[in-house]
Structure 1
């Protein structure tokens, strides 16, 4: 639900903050007051195109923020979770800054975002129905989605998509098997030879072999240095072990007289222990060493094999074992390669399963389309479209797809004796808004967005028809939030919140939006009914319109 809008230097708005309530909200005002201000600001926050005209004259940028509340497991909540944009507030803050240079920036919950991300989350939050903007109603997939949503055909539609994807996957596997069969035998032979060539080195660790060969190559030098070190540590007349012992005896006499000397003494005691351990290990190392020329020759031969194979296959010697594992895996895959004829049977089975699911979906859609079109026709007729007629047209696709067998269009005519044609081709802006209204009322509890915005859907209607539109919107407002710009008092009287747009005589000119109390609403309804001169008669008529709203509320209660 939209809870708050804040406009700073946006068009005629200087600094405007608006709280929006749940239910049915209307915006009214005199011509030229700027009634589209709120809708333009909301559209900007939803990622729609903007231009420099939205930046207030004399300022550098326009700044608009829309705040929405949302349910924990709603589609928008899942979207925020996926994009790591959810925060502890439980709200969605969409912000758009438009610069006088033509650039714009966007944020979602304080994080810089792209316009495409704004549009994604915007589609989940708001459905805009305007005579001057692209209608979701006119998008080619909409009739099919509306039909599926109304009858809850989501599951069979998903089964069609799943079986289609499985069929396509089997086709790819089958084709890959056919391609592989062409050079399979030659590749198997090559892999067998390569694996056999590397077989002798699999039990040999290259790093250990290289290290042992290096040690034998420097055996004499190592033994000389080790003997010198052992002699200096423990075997010479003035060896290091004796010197450390002598130092410890001298310092031990004074360790109790100074904390610093005590620390030095303890450090040397530890050092003496380390020297003794190192001396013992060095003596053990020397005792175990021996020079084996045959072993050295064996190691040299192994290293030569490693280097030769590494040059041949153009990799490092230590990578040969990994290469063997890769070849072994490829060999196993080729050996297990299924017969293309068997895979062709899998393709056919998957295709038949897709056909069954797609045929079932097409059948239930066709059966549901006739009564749904009839119901839509009857409900649209009362909105000043007495000759309205709808029907769904199913056109076979040239190639079946994940969507099934048919492309579904919604055909419409507003005139008796005129054949129905695609809705986008023949419906006017006012007709589209009213048709969209009825379609949303029919799906009120199933609609995806929680905010519906209608821009002047009452164009071309009056009297009793306008009152019906108001009731329809009021009913719809019990399930979703409605924001509607209207010129009709009969529509505005049915609203839960009435916002008045007023132009202020400032320099430069500006507009503001006021929430009306009940007595102010009566006065505004009278203005909408009677014009500039408001008489007692028009005031009484306005009160009667509000009484109709209260009576409807009591009946619903």
Structure 2
């Protein structure tokens, strides 16, 4: 879960450090106070895009750090181990620095990281739901995606997509085989001639031949330089080996008199050993060298063949091996096309495998759809929709696709005796917001992330409906940590922790976030319900809202 967040020169925050506990947190405040400050900072740490506007005015960079705790065998623990980013603290430190130029840098547990890594890890840590999520309900793929996610069908759905890809690939291969039949024999003959022409030549290594030819071409110069080097090293009257040995003997007398002289002596002894090895190797090299004109001529002929073939096939001599392997692979593929019926059989087989898996997934979805629609109906009814009814409709596709055999719609009616129709056609804006909220909460119950963020998802609801939403989130917070921006006092009253965002009109302006005690919570709830004027009535109402929270908690525990 999220345990700490530090914001330095981030947007309206000057220097803000916030410890965050387990449970259900709400963030409230006046319009324009900067309620999204904390969530924006968290998103930055999770790899979302940034720009220079996130840097506090008058400063050159913003610095944001988020700290998470995690379980030993969790998905994020495995991710850290795989990327060698785990540390002894048992925590995850995500840091992002944004510069006024718009650039940014990121770290995971102190090591520089890419934004892709931040996002990858962030998906395991935090799940975000926004007030715009209700628009997803109007998108045709959403009912199927929601059904699959809630029913844990992600793996079989991916297997079906893979099987569909294999089927389509077999179709393309078969079509390509049929198209290639006309020119196949001619191409095979051409490839066989090319491979035969290169086969003998490619028994030799071009780089080795070229190096040996170059050495023989410069044989006389090499031997002159080697003889000169051997003379200077060991054969001259005053050679380096003797001179260095004399120096070593002189320094040996002073080893115990100075640590620095001792180090120098050791270095000289090592140099003496290296010099002796080099001299011995040079003698050995000279003894083994001989000039063979016939060998040089042989190498020259081989190089000419390499260069001729390279010119012919418009490549470099050292690339002929690669060309040979490519032609060989193409020839093998063309030879497999001798019988297009074999590929036709493969198309039929992969189609049958796909259809079998797709039919199995389709039946799993149909079996899960009824109970899920019933559960959704039960969850939505308390939100001022007493006659709500949902059902999933499966329409067979004209042509199966990677997503399965059926187009899945979510049907809805809010009125008794009225047949259910597609949700996008009959639901009002207020109904959509409530339905989206319940579906998000139901999805959140299935997520692996331990931190759920709800950004003003309660827009469009109020009164008793908002209270029920608060209870839903409160119950969900028994299993995960929740951060929620809200304008609804009924939702805020159900939280375990209340964070207030306030803007201070300093120069420049700044925002701060601090936790409220119970008395301060009553004052804030009264402001949210009664506006600017806080009186006994609004205070009493705020206390009643908190009392409902305590009663609900007591019932849950019992």
Q: Counterpart of 1:446 in 2: which secondary structure?
A: coil
Deviates more, 1:473-482 or 1:36-45: 36-45
Mapped pair 1:515 → 2:518: no
Deviates more, 1:150-159 or 1:321-330: 321-330
Q: Counterpart of 2:536 in 1: which secondary structure?
A: coil
Max Rg structure: 1
CA contact (8 A) 1:4 1:67 kept: yes
Aligned to 1:161: 161
Q: Hey, what's the Cα distance between the residues in 2 that align with 1:212 and 1:51?
A: 59
Count of residues paired in the alignment: 524
Shift of 1:203: 6.6
CA contact (8 A) 1:94 1:118 kept: no
Mapped pair 1:374 → 2:378: no
Gaps of 5+ in 1: 234-239
Q: 1:67 to 1:416 in 2, by over 3 A?
A: farther
CA contact (8 A) 1:440 1:447 kept: no
Q: Hey, what's the Cα distance between the residues in 2 that align with 1:218 and 1:454?
A: 77
Residues 179-206 of structure 1, C-alpha deviations (whole Å, 9 max, x = no match): 4433222233334444554566567787
CA contact (8 A) 2:45 2:94 kept: no
Q: 1:209 to 1:391 in 2, by over 3 A?
A: closer
Q: Counterpart of 1:22 in 2: which secondary structure?
A: coil
Mapped pair 1:534 → 2:536: yes
Deviates more, 1:157-166 or 1:7-16: 7-16
Aligned to 1:236: none
Shift of 1:515: 1.3
Residues 83-142 of structure 1, C-alpha deviations (whole Å, 9 max, x = no match): 78766653152536485x8x464635364755x776665554444444357765555543
Q: 1:312 to 1:519 in 2, by over 3 A?
A: closer
Q: 1:308 to 1:151 in 2, by over 3 A?
A: closer
Q: Hey, what's the Cα distance between the residues in 2 that align with 1:195 and 1:456?
A: 67
Gaps of 5+ in 2: 254-264
Residues 272-309 of structure 1, C-alpha deviations (whole Å, 9 max, x = no match): x979x959986x989xx9998xx999888777766655
CA contact (8 A) 1:23 1:496 kept: yes
Mapped pair 1:474 → 2:468: no
CA contact (8 A) 1:129 1:436 kept: no
Q: 1:71 to 1:96 in 2, by over 3 A?
A: farther
Aligned to 2:547: 544
Aligned to 1:453: 454
Mapped pair 1:554 → 2:557: yes
Give the alignment's Cα RMSD to 1 decimal.
5.3
- What TM-score does the superposition give when structure 1 sets the normalisation length? 0.72
Shift of 1:334: 3.8
Shift of 1:350: 0.6
Q: Hey, what's the Cα distance between the residues in 2 that align with 1:52 and 1:256?
A: 65
Deviates more, 1:46-55 or 1:427-436: 46-55
Aligned to 2:106: 107
- What TM-score does the superposition give when structure 2 sets the normalisation length? 0.72
Q: 1:417 to 1:15 in 2, by over 3 A?
A: farther
Q: Hey, what's the Cα distance between the residues in 2 that align with 1:460 and 1:280?
A: 90
Q: Hey, what's the Cα distance between the residues in 2 that align with 1:398 and 1:322?
A: 46
Aligned to 1:237: none
